[in-house]
Chain A
Amino acid sequence: MSDATYPEDLRYHEEHDWARIEGDQATFGITWYAQDSLGEVVFFDPPEVGAEIQKDSSYAEVESVKAVSDVIAPMSGEILEVNDVLQDSPERINEDPHGEGWLVKVRLTSPEEAQQLLGVEEYRKLLDN
């Protein structure tokens, strides 16, 4: 299990999701806090490549030994790629939630939505509350 670290280069959504934005594309995942709350992840149910996803709406499911949870999109876009490694090794989400445990890559349809997301300090403050 990884330590509770939150990378500086990510943008955070209050539903405990992150986005790593590179131009008009981004990688999405769930935060360390989210995976820690869920416990051992046993299944990731990804969206279809090509699917349109909406900011603040569910686009995938993560199943842990405790619960099945919707994954909320931090930004809107079109799914370019899903992390196939998770089909056989969903535990990557626990081991490296901000790295190898990424969920999807997305072409952003509204890159300006990034301004509505939280920086690392704001997200930490949210967790402290």
Chain B
Amino acid sequence: MTRYTSATPDDRREMLDAIGVSSVDELFEQIPEALRLGRPLALPDGMGEAEVYERLAALAQRNADAEEEVCFVGAGMYDHYVPAIVDAITSRSEFLTPYTPYQPEISQGGLQVMFEFQTAMSELTALPVSSAGLYEGPSSVASAGYLAMGATKRHKFVVSRGVHPHSRETLRTYSIGYGAEVVEVGLEGGLTDAAALAGAVDGETAAVFLQSPNFLGAVEDVEALGAAAKEHGALLIVACDPMTLGILKPPGECGADIALGEGQPLGNRLDFGGPSFGFFCATEAQIRRMPGRIAGETEDVDGRRGFVLALQTREQHIRREKATNNICTAQALNALGAMVHLAWLGREGFRELGELLVRRTAYARERLAAVGGVELLHEASVAREFAVRLDAPVGRVLDRLAERGIAAGYPLGREYPELEDGLLVAITERRTKAQIDELAEALAAAVAAEREGVAA
């Protein structure tokens, strides 16, 4: 018995006596013999705290992270610079509580942050209503499907294969519970196949899901693709990368009913995959079906500006089985990081950052396409990420680059069997021209070595 395990042998004895059972084994006799292990768990002996620390530290050492490697991996989460002010503000104890601020009289700070975050996301997506943040991107996509089913009373989703694979997988998983059908539409030249999409959408379709820039980095013509949704009365749901919203036409101006996405690029580091948050904006018509919390602006009895949770009666604490989302509460802190990052960049700075990404990405794309054995996977316009094909095994080339401290990109074959030779390369403002040049040189050497069969 250790100080980390609260029940002592005496405690257990007392509990067993109270329910009239002689041993823990007897407690489990109801479980059929065949389902029981019949022996103690094969666990190693306990360790002292210092030993545990050493062991875990050694395991942690084996991880590579974006501070050690030059990271060109994106695929939905990106290695942006997070300014120190984000940590300074998000680490304030007032913001560290994950509890939902139901009591406005003691929660003005938290509620104001939610309201300001919503205002920013609403402006960036050009949609009037924003929630205060969801769990992450993929579950936001799946929640949008549920909303669309409620709004249209239909049960079919038409989804571009340009939508993030994790989002499509989450939507498929949720759809089993929703009783919905998911139809995927393929890509042509890096972009959603418009004819196939138009053919897949019909009067049974609840929603059309697009992503722009899509998973291959290509900027989709959301307005043109969305026409099929409009024609059949389906909702148009657009996943987007928040970092591109300062330079691309916002989804709300392209006919989107819902714009959402992974919020990590704003004010959140990669952090080995999370936690992060999702954003979710919609037209006013959908406000009562929106997942997550919404903060609203109001006045107190003395006429001073104040904030409250709006539409609170629709919250999950009242109707669990009808809740549209149950896992958003603790993401407020991540959304705060995004809000601080946006405020730090400012209106102009945010646009300038987007322009910088486009320029640097164009340079990297051109530089890599000029490498022998490397060609562009598609010619479509991109913003901050692009795809190439390698005339060499992608996994082995990545291993060679990793030895030089470069995480060169995301191997597309992992999610797209038809793109086994594909590599997805992401650019952030942290990637310098010199690093891009180094990537091109290292890639050239690695591809050449693989083609010549040189041992790594």
A interface residues with partner B (beta carbon < 8 Å):
43, 45, 48, 63-68
Let me know if A63 and B153 touch, CB within 8 A.
no
- Asked whether B288 is an interface residue with its Cβ less than 8 Å from the other chain, the reply is yes
Mask: chain B, 216-257; 1 = CB below 8 Å from A; 0 = not: 000000000000000000000000000000000000000000
Let me know if A68 and B319 touch, CB within 8 A.
yes
Let me know if A68 and B318 touch, CB within 8 A.
yes
| Chain B min CB distance to A82 (Å) | 14
Mask: chain B, 307-320; 1 = CB below 8 Å from A; 0 = not: 00000011000110
CB-nearest residue of chain B to A69: B319
| Chain B min CB distance to A92 (Å) | 19
User: Can you list 16 residue pairs at the A/B interface with Cβ under 8 Å?
Assistant: A43-B288, A45-B288, A48-B153, A63-B288, A63-B313, A63-B314, A64-B313, A65-B313, A66-B313, A67-B313, A67-B318, A68-B313, A68-B314, A68-B318, A68-B319, A68-B322
| Chain A min CB distance to B322 (Å) | 8
CB-nearest residue of chain B to A38: B313
Number of A-B contacts (CB under 8 A): 16
CB-nearest residue of chain B to A48: B153
Q: Which residues of A contact B318 (CB under 8 A)?
A: 67-68
Q: Which residues of A contact B319 (CB under 8 A)?
A: 68
| Chain A min CB distance to B293 (Å) | 15
Q: Which residues of B contact A68 (CB under 8 A)?
A: 313-314, 318-319, 322
Q: Which residues of B contact A45 (CB under 8 A)?
A: 288
Q: Which residues of B contact A66 (CB under 8 A)?
A: 313
In angstroms, Cα B115 to Cα A78, docked, is 42
CB-nearest residue of chain B to A45: B288
Q: Which residues of B contact A64 (CB under 8 A)?
A: 313
CB-nearest residue of chain B to A43: B288
Mask: chain B, 288-329; 1 = CB below 8 Å from A; 0 = not: 100000000000000000000000011000110010000000
A-B contact sample (14 more), CB < 8 A, given A45-B288, A63-B313: A43-B288, A48-B153, A63-B288, A63-B314, A64-B313, A65-B313, A66-B313, A67-B313, A67-B318, A68-B313, A68-B314, A68-B318, A68-B319, A68-B322
CB-nearest residue of chain B to A47: B153
In angstroms, Cα B153 to Cα A48, docked, is 9
Q: Which residues of A contact B313 (CB under 8 A)?
A: 63-68
CB-nearest residue of chain A to B322: A68
| Chain A min CB distance to B223 (Å) | 29
In angstroms, Cα B313 to Cα A67, docked, is 5
| Chain A min CB distance to B138 (Å) | 27
| Chain B min CB distance to A43 (Å) | 6
In angstroms, Cα B153 to Cα A113, docked, is 28
Q: Which residues of B contact A63 (CB under 8 A)?
A: 288, 313-314
- Between A43, A45, A66, A68, the greatest number of chain B beta carbons within 10 A of the residue's beta carbon is seen for A68
Mask: chain B, 140-171; 1 = CB below 8 Å from A; 0 = not: 00000000000001000000000000000000
Residues 251-278 of B contacting A (Cβ, < 8 Å): none
In angstroms, Cα B314 to Cα A64, docked, is 10
Residues 54-86 of B contacting A (Cβ, < 8 Å): none
- Which are the 3 A-B pairs with shortest beta-carbon distances? A68-B313, A67-B313, A67-B318
Q: Which residues of A contact B153 (CB under 8 A)?
A: 48
Mask: chain B, 321-358; 1 = CB below 8 Å from A; 0 = not: 01000000000000000000000000000000000000
